[in-house]
Amino acid sequence: MPKKRDTYRYELRKKRKLVYVGITNDPERREAEHRAEGNDFTSINVVRPPVTRESAERWEEQRLKTFLENQGRLPRYNKPSPDRRLSLGFSRQSNKLSRVT
């Protein structure tokens, strides 16, 4: 049986600046959550069509890696988990993220 395609990829922007990359199964709810958290953004760009969860996770990972390579940091509101830090090429040193070379 084919996998369910119910996961949306999205980006939050403040004018032209990318401030968050994420995935969700409910873009409207997630946008409301971001606003309730006080995240400052002017638009949400939902990448369509919905895809499988696995495909969305791969997209998110690649989008963050590309942003990191180009900007030298992650988008403003992306706070990676310890596992995500390692997969993005970071190591944890003294409460700061340090790029592994």
The encoded tokens of residue 73 equal: 């940091």
Q: Decide if 7 contacts 56 (C-beta within 8 A).
A: yes
The number of folded domains in the chain is 1
Instruction: Tell me the pLDDT tens digit for each residue of 30-89.
Output: 999 999 999 999 999 999 999 999 999 999 999 999 999 999 999 999 987 777 777 777
User: What is the model's pLDDT at position 92?
Assistant: 54
If you ran DSSP here, which 8-state letter would residue 25 be given?
A: S
* In a domain? residue 73: yes
Question: Is residue 1 a part of any domain in this protein?
Answer: no
Q: How confident is the model at residue 2 (pLDDT cuts 50, 70, 90)?
A: confident
- What domain range includes position 24? 7-99
**Is a pLDDT exceeding 80 seen at residue 18?**
yes
Our CA angle for 78, 83, 10, nearest 5°, is 35
* One-letter amino acid of 17: K
pLDDT of amino acid 99: 53
Residue 42's pLDDT is 98
Question: 15 lies in a domain?
Answer: yes
Q: Which two tokens stand for residue 97?
A: 């993220």
What is the end-to-end Cα distance of the chain in Å, rounded? 42
